[in-house]
Amino acid sequence: LLVPFLQPRVQLLLLPIRVLACLGLWDSFYKKVFPYIMAKVAPIYSHKVYKQKQELFSSLRKFAGPSGQLALLEIGTGTGTDFQFYPLGCRLACADPNPNFTKFLLKGLSENRHVKLERSVDACGEDLDHILDGTTDVVVCTLVLCSVTNVKKVLTEVLRVLRRGGAFYFLEHVAAEHSSWTYFWQKVCDPVCNYFGDGCSLSKETQKELEKMNFSELNLRRIHVTPYWIPTSPHIIEYAVK
Q: Where are the domains of the chain?
A: 2-241
Q: Given a cut of 90, is residue 8 above it in pLDDT? A: no
CB atoms within 10 A of CB 98: 18
Percent of the chain beyond pLDDT 90?
91
Asked whether the beta carbons of 72 and 86 are under 8 A apart, the reply is yes
What is the spatial distance between Cα 193 and Cα 37, in angstroms, rounded to a whole number?
Answer: 14
Are the CB atoms for 65 and 165 separated by under 8 Å?
no
**pLDDT at residue 111 above 90?**
yes
Whole-number Å distance between alpha carbons of 65 and 68: 6
Q: Is the pLDDT of residue 148 over 70?
A: yes
**In terms of pLDDT, which residue wins out, 5 or 53?**
53
Instruction: Output Rg (C-alpha) for the chain, integer angstroms.
Output: 18
What's the mean pLDDT in 112-141? Answer: 94
Percent of the chain residues topping a pLDDT of 70: 100
DSSP classification of residue 228: T
CB 94 within 8 A of CB 136: no
- Residue 173: pLDDT band with limits 50, 70, 90: very high
CATH superfamily of 2-241: Vaccinia Virus protein VP39 (3.40.50.150)
| Secondary structure of residue 120 in the 3-state scheme | strand
Task: Report yes or no: 145 and 204 within 8 Å, Cβ to Cβ.
Answer: yes
Contacts of 60 (CB under 8 A, 6+ apart): 70, 72, 85, 86, 87, 90, 138, 169
Q: 196-241 pLDDT, tens per residue?
A: 999 999 999 999 999 999 999 999 999 999 999 999 999 999 999 9
Mean pLDDT of 25-48: 94
C-alpha separations of 123 from 113, 119, 120, 226, 237 in Å: 24, 12, 9, 31, 24
Banded pLDDT at 32 (limits 50, 70, 90): very high
Whether the per-residue pLDDT at 1 is higher than 70: the answer is: no
**Summary mean pLDDT of the chain:** 94
Spatial contact of 156 and 127, defined as CB atoms under 8 Å apart: no
SS3 for 144? coil
The C-alpha torsion from 30 through 36 and 42 to 45, rounded to 10°, is -80
> Which element (helix H / strand E) includes 122?
none
3-state SS string for 48-68: HCHHHHHHHHCCHHHHCCCCC
Supply the DSSP string of 64-89, one letter for each residue.
--TTS--EEEEES-TT-TTGGGSPTT
Q: How far apart are CA 161 and CA 128, in angstroms?
A: 8
Q: Is the pLDDT score of 5 beyond 90?
A: no
